Amino acid sequence: MADHIDGALRAAIEESLLERLADGESLVQICRDDDMPDRRTVQRWQDDDEKFDAAVMRAREAGMFVRAEKAVEEAKAAEDASLGRLAFDAERWYVGKLSNAFSDDKTRRHELSGHVGISRVEREVVDPQHSNG
């Protein structure tokens, strides 16, 4: 799919992409579909549009929780305990890698705001000969 597309079509594609990410699908998986742009195009869109970039990050984070919940359910329902454990461990590794990406300050830049201030500083002098510790 071309990088330059009609605005209405792009908005529909972005909405579908965000829904699918929030449902736990990976970007690679989504971009394999013929009606979706390739992964690099989506990344360019993210680079060019902070609002879309933040929406992708929120959707991926929501999808992480969906994937984690499904992994637990599937592990509990597995007929073969060793295969269930293997699948669960693989999913746990993947979700862990994604969660590390979301904790990166660069990735979180859209969600950080506010003011941190100090309202009061106290100093306490302790005599070691008369301490209770």
Average pLDDT, the chain: 81
Has residue 21 got a pLDDT over 70? yes
Does the global pTM surpass 0.75? no
Q: Is residue 49 part of a domain?
A: yes
CATH code for the domain of 57: 1.10.10.60
Percent of the chain with pLDDT over 90: 41
Question: 61: domain range?
Answer: 7-113
3-state secondary structure of 123: coil
**Residue 123, domain member (yes or no):** no
Q: What is the model's pLDDT at position 4?
A: 67
The H-assigned helical ranges of the chain are 7-22, 27-31, 39-48, 50-77, 81-103
In a domain, 58, yes or no: yes
Indicate the number of domains in the chain. 1
Residue 42 lies in a domain: yes
Whether residue 132 lies inside any domain: the answer is no
Instruction: Give long-range contacts, CB 8 A cutoff, 24+ apart: 88-91.
Output: 91/67
Task: Kindly report, residue by residue over 38-70, the tens digit of the pLDDT.
Answer: 999 999 999 999 999 999 999 998 998 888 888
Identify the pLDDT of residue 38.
95
- Domain membership of residue 120 (yes or no) is no
